[in-house]
Every structure is written in C-alpha cells, then in structure tokens.
Amino acid sequence: MANSGDVKTHWRVATYQEGRAATLARSLKLHPIVARVLQSRGWDDGRPDLDGFITPALRQLRPPSELMDMGKGIERVARAIRDGEKIWIYGDYDVDGVTSTALMISVLRFLGVTPRHFIPHRVKDGYGMSVQRVEDIAQEGCDLIVTVDTGITAVEPIRRARELGIDVVVTDHHKAGMELPDAVALINPNRPDVEYPWGRLCGVGVVFKFAHALLRESGRPEVECKEFLRAQLDLVALGTIADVVPLTGENRVLAHFGLPAIMKSPRPGIRALMDAARLTPRTATPDLVSFGLGPRLNAAGRTDSAEIALELLLTKDLRRAAQLAKELENLNVERRRIEDDILGESVQEADTLTSSSPTHALVVGGEGWHLGVVGIVASRLVERYQMPSIVLAIEDGVARRSARSIDDFDLHGALAPCREPLIGFGGHASAAGLRLYVDALPDFRGALNEHAGGILGTGPRVINVNVDAELSPRDLCWELYDDLQKLQPFGEGNPEPVFLMRNVRCRQPARLVGKNQDHLKVALHGEGKDFDGIGFSMGRQKDIFDAGLVDVLVRPSENVFNGSARLEVQLMGARVAEAV
C-alpha cells in the first residue's frame, strides 16, 4: 500500500440457508428478507436465546452475584454506610466514566450517604488512578475508595491506599495487567480468572450490577429499589452506547430499555443535552445518541474538566441543567475547532509522507497539539487513508498520545517490535497510546512503516464492505421496514442491516443538497418501482448516478415531513452497475 489511493472496495454479500431462513420467517412472522438477515448472522429457529434477542427482557440480566468478588465489595460498602465512614468515588473522564460516577453517587445518595468523588483531568492527571491523587484523597479524609470504570491495573496506587489505611473496592471492565491490585474486591467481568458468561459490559454496566446487588442487601422496600434502578437506565444506556461495546447479550437488554429512558428522561441534564443536540423521542437511535449526546459529554473531559458533565447528569435544577448544557455545547464547538485545526495540519503532513515514499502506517505530530483530541484525529486519518495512524502531541521534547488501527492490523502487536525508540506504550489491537522523545521520531516512523509493510503487503488494500442481503426495489415496503426495527437497537456487534440493490437508475438528475452541498438526493427507479434516496456525504459520487444503471447499498428509512411519513432509502454506497 503506497498511499491512500491504493485501496479497493469489495461488497461482500452474506450467504444464508434458504430453508432455515424460511422456517425462521414463519416461526417469528417476519418478512422473508429480515429472516435471511437473522439467519446469515447465526440466528436459527430453535436457538435458545433467539426469543430474548427479538424480545429483550430485564429478567435476562444475569444475577449480580455471578460476578467474582461482588459479595466482598457489597459487604465492604454496606459496612462503610452503616458505620458512617468517608467514601470516595474514583471515576474517569469519558462518557462511560462519567455515567459510572453519576450512577455510583446516585445509588449511595439513595441509601442516605453523600460520597465525595474525584475524576482525573485528562491533561493534568492522565488516565487512571495515580499515587499522587490517592495521597491527596487521604489528606482530605477517606476510609474507602470505590473505583468506577478504572482501577484494574492500578497496582501501585491501590498499594499506596492500603499503606494509608484506605480500603479500595474496584469496579471496572478493562483488561487486567500481569499483576492484580491488592483491593478488597476486584469486580470486573474481564478478569483473567473470571468465567462470567457475558464479559463485554462497560463500566457503567458493571456499576449497575453493583447497584442492583447493593440495593438487594440494603433493607429498602423492593418496589422502591426496582423503581430507582429503572430510573437509572438512561445513564446505563448512555454510557453503554458511547463506549461502543457490543449491543448483544446484557448490553442489548440495557440499551433496549435504556434508550426509551433517555428519550423520556425526567433527568434535567439529559433533557437539556437532548435539546442542545436537537434530539427528539422520534429520533432515538444508538447512532444519534452516540453522535449527538456522547461528544457533548466527552467535550468536557477532552478540553476541560469532566466535572461539568458530571454535574449536568446529577443536577435536579432545570435552569442549572440548561446552563451546563450550554457550557458543554460551547466546549464541543471548541473541541471541533481544535480537532479541525489539528486534522488539517495532520493531513498536510500525511500527504507529504504518502507522496514521497511508500507508506503503510502514518506517524504525524505537532507542537502544541491538544492531548484531548489527537485520538479523534487519529481515527479520522484511519478513515481517510485506510492505514494505521498515530497522532502525537509534542511538548518539551516528548511526543505522546494516540494510535488507531485498521481492522486487520494488530496495532499493539506492531508496537512491540518497534519498541526500541519508545519510552513506553500500551493498548490493544485497535488502539494504543505511546510516548517517545522527538529525536527518535524518524527512527520510530521508519521501523513501524517497515513492520506494517511486511504485514499488509505492498499491493492494493482491499476493504470488505459487509452486505446483509440483496434487495429488490419491489421488496421495499413498510412491512420490511417495521420488521427490521425488531432487530433494534443497532450498534457494535449488531449493525444495522445494509442491502444491495442492483441495476437501478435515476429517473431525474441527482441533486447536491445540504449546507455545503455535500449530500446527494436521488430519485430512483428499478423493476417498475419509483423510490427516493438520500446519501449523506456522498456528493462526490454524483457522477456515478449520471452515468446510467447503478448498483447501490441502501438502508430502508422513514422520512417524516409535515406529519406525513414516507418510505425511502439511505444510500450507503454506489457503483456503476456490474453484470451478475
């Protein structure tokens, strides 16, 4: 792969077994094409969890006691509540961390306790627990620290806490290191010594399980406890969707019930945030929650302090919620400005690198680049150049921060053989963080590029686009659309289906629409049927539709205008029609 132009796209249509799909359609009373989607994804009639997938229920949630150390953690927190001990919540600055912190604070307040909390500052403190902050908390007065969305790798900070006479209960979901911390309880479904049947909970999901178990032991009336837990599902869904964990298993249940809770939320902060994002109950989808609410909450932790986001989620004052939402909106605008500036500089450097020599992995960096947004910029470079990308913020001779990868390249594994110039690194296959001295940047770039070339090869890179099924224009109907909604919520692990329509044509010239004329509006015709489509950010592909017959990737969608609903398609891709 010499540069971003050496990329080919292949539409890979899923296969299905007609007999099994037909049986599925009959048993579930589904449109045949929806049944084909389910069957191709492994959902056959008779599979024991099929009914639960189609009709999620809260009773599908596993008992909290199945999580190792849950009993130990509940006993220690219950004792702290009973004895009036000083409890601190140690959180994290992203959406999962902030919703986790808000939920843990809320459940303790419900039980009559007012805990204190600490959320690290992304730039000043960095990620996770630190010895210094544990010592600061000890000086303020503390008997027990409960971590949320962090702590499983905090060996030294938790050791220091124990030296200072502070017990620690860890609730986390991240992967553990070689050594587990010496905490009173380590409640984490991803512990290496745990066989929890559903380990992909995010941080707020683990806190929800903890809250459930704690309330069971609280002695409060069961009806009150259930009502309280249901009222927290908006926080749980918000953190779950924003953390991009698979929306299957328990996460599917939590998102299924949490999305309506978000849209109907009496929580002033979420209502104000929805108003700022122009979200309505009708537009409630994981994508819109993720891209509408998530970035606004994240903006606080990226460019300032996450305390603003936490206060927004906890306040009961409508006026204060509106003020905080406006602050977050301003921070998000500033975040986008900073991001765009850094992206522009990164693209200039990347274009120079890719045009001057064969490039298989991008490494760019700049003085004064904001640590809070370089991860987003790295993701944008991956999308643009379709190669692993590292974006480094340089300060005082040290370059550090974020790396993002493509699907078939183990980024963390690639850093290991290139570690000689690095001060340190960590992460996983798709994302990583690293530090190195600026003087070592050329050597590191060369080593990583050589290693990536050996893995990815020098030929054109083929990107496979997964297509769920072929769809005839004649099959586009409300029954199909309504049955597709039964597969909601869509997200990681359960993507919204994409269909291939062959040999359609524009019945009138395609039009560029939108503020920047970057969207595409088309009036299509195929197999005797007229239908309309919209392609977001597809304006550059207008010429394809002017050429004659085209193949398109689509998602059936509902267009509501002036109170009237019309069925159309959202374009996800287009090409000149190919012979079958």
Tens of pLDDT, residue by residue, the chain (580 residues): 445 446 788 999 999 999 999 999 999 999 999 999 999 999 988 888 898 899 999 999 999 999 999 999 999 999 999 999 999 999 999 999 999 999 999 999 999 999 999 999 887 888 889 999 999 999 999 999 999 999 999 999 999 999 999 999 999 998 888 899 999 999 999 988 888 888 789 999 999 999 999 999 999 999 999 999 999 999 999 999 988 888 999 999 999 999 988 888 789 999 999 988 888 766 667 777 878 899 999 988 888 889 999 999 999 999 999 999 999 999 999 999 999 999 999 999 999 999 988 899 999 999 999 988 999 999 999 988 989 999 999 999 999 889 999 988 999 889 989 988 899 887 778 888 899 999 999 999 999 999 999 998 877 778 889 999 999 999 999 999 999 999 999 988 899 999 999 999 999 999 999 878 889 999 999 999 999 999 998 988 999 998 789 999 999 999 877 778 899 999 999 999 986 6
Dist CA 183 CA 181 (whole Å):
6
Report the 10 Å Cβ neighbour count for 207. 33
- Specify whether the backbone of 470 is left (phi greater than 0), alpha (psi in -120 to 50) or beta: beta
Give the pLDDT of residue 264. 82
Dist CA 172 CA 191 (whole Å):
9
Give the pLDDT of residue 266. 83
Give the pLDDT of residue 7. 72
Report the 10 Å Cβ neighbour count for 342. 22
Bridge-partner residues for 506, per DSSP?
524
Give the pLDDT of residue 516. 80
Structure tokens at 21: 């799909």
> Following DSSP, what letter does each residue of 182-213 receive, concatenated?
--SEEE-TT-TT---S-----HHHHHHHHHHH
Q: Give which of 202, 265, 201 is closest to 231, Cα–Cα.
A: 265
The 3-class SS string of 259-291 reads: HHHHHCCCCHHHHHHHHHHCCCHHHCCHHHHHH
State how far the alpha carbon of 462 is from the alpha carbons of 133, 351, 541, 545, in Å: 47, 21, 20, 24
In one-letter notation, the amino acid at residue 342 is I
CATH of domain 62-244: 3.90.1640.30
Dist CA 114 CA 233 (whole Å):
21
Dist CA 286 CA 490 (whole Å):
7
In one-letter notation, the amino acid at residue 172 is D
Dist CA 202 CA 251 (whole Å):
8
Residue with tokens 């945030």: 273
* Biggest CA-to-CA distance, the chain: 77
DSSP 548: S
Structure tokens at 31: 């449109």
Q: Give which of 423, 480, 418 is closest to 451, Cα–Cα.
A: 418
> Following DSSP, what letter does each residue of 487-518 receive, concatenated?
GPSPBTTBPPP-EEEEEEEESS--EEESTTS-
| From-to residues of CATH 2.40.50.460 in the chain | 7-15+465-576
Q: Give which of 203, 178, 267, 210 is closest to 71, Cα–Cα.
A: 210
Chain CA centroid to CA 149, Å = 14
Give the pLDDT of residue 282. 62
- Give ∠ CA 295-301-302 in degrees, rounded to 5: 70
Report the 10 Å Cβ neighbour count for 230. 13
Judge contact between 253 and 60, C-beta under 8 A: yes
| From-to residues of CATH 3.90.1640.30 in the chain | 62-244
* Interstrand relation of 185-187 and 362-367 (parallel, antiparallel or unpaired): unpaired
| 7-15+465-576 to CATH, choices 3.40.50.2000, 2.60.40.1190, 2.40.50.460, 3.40.50.2300 | 2.40.50.460
Q: Give which of 363, 364, 461, 362 is closest to 408, Cα–Cα.
A: 461
Residue 107's Cβ-side half-sphere holds a number of Cα atoms within 13 Å equal to: 32
State how far the alpha carbon of 130 is from the alpha carbons of 49, 86, 135, 138, in Å: 42, 20, 9, 12
What are φ and ψ of residue 117, in 5° steps?
-145, 160
Judge contact between 343 and 369, C-beta under 8 A: no
In one-letter notation, the amino acid at residue 293 is L
Dist CA 574 CA 580 (whole Å):
16
- Give ∠ CA 73-270-247 in degrees, rounded to 5: 60
Structure tokens at 562: 């002036």
Dist CA 405 CA 411 (whole Å):
6
| From-to residues of CATH 3.10.310.30 in the chain | 359-457
Bridge-partner residues for 287, per DSSP?
none
Judge contact between 95 and 243, C-beta under 8 A: yes
Give the pLDDT of residue 464. 86
Judge contact between 466 and 12, C-beta under 8 A: yes
Q: Cα-atom radius of gyration of the chain, to the nearest Å?
A: 25
Give the pLDDT of residue 1. 40
Residue 102's Cβ-side half-sphere holds a number of Cα atoms within 13 Å equal to: 30
Fold of 359-457: Diaminopimelate Epimerase; Chain A, domain 1 (3.10.310)
Helix (H) or strand (E) holding 511: strand 511-513
Chain CA centroid to CA 431, Å = 13
Q: Which residues contact 201 (CB under 8 A, 6 or more apart)?
A: 173, 189, 209, 245, 250, 251
Give the pLDDT of residue 407. 81
